[in-house]
A = this chain, B = another copy of it.
Amino acid sequence: MSTSGAIPIRDAGPEDWPAMWAFMREIVVAGETFSWDTKTSEEDARAGWFRHGQESGFTVVATGPSGALLGTAECGPNHGGPGAHVATASFMVDPRHTGRGAGRALGEYVLDRARAEGFRAMQFNAVAESNVRAVRLWQSLGMQILTTIPEGFRHPADGYVGLHIMYQRLTPA
């Protein structure tokens, strides 16, 4: 258990999954921020979100005062072998609990823990430029836009928008 500000973050366990999937499913189906198949099955979602469990990496949840889950994040190597020293991470915050700092708490936690686990850098592969709040949040945590894939994301309302690749060095040069 770790606290980032007032929001506790802890490793996610199998018992958390039903409450996680309840809001994760909404986010995946909406297709507004996440580049997953909007029909992703619960089984595939669970396997993807816990994929780093047996190797390096981790899956965590942010909890509210009553113990309710506010959001979740997963982090692990972005590539294998000769590329495994750069981490990547994904984040989902329950739409009913946005604006309470869970995203920021998860972001700070993930960057700190990735650094502590020895990752040399953090790379986000797919941040929709239409997800302005997320882009600003990650920038405020030190992530920089390295490039933007032109029209890389098809937003259900906005149409094709750019898909940012964001990056931050975690170790001293």
User: Which residues of A pack against B, CB within 8 Å?
Assistant: 28, 31-32, 34-38, 40, 79-86, 120-121, 123, 125-126, 128, 146-147, 149-156, 163, 165, 167, 169
Contact = CB atoms under 8 A, between A and B. Distances in A.
A83 B35 contact: yes
Contacts of A36: 79-81
Copies in the complex: 2
Given A147-B146, A150-B169, A35 B155 contact: no
Contacts of A155: 82
B163 A83 contact: yes
Contact of A147 (B35, B84, B154, B165): B165
B167 A82 contact: no
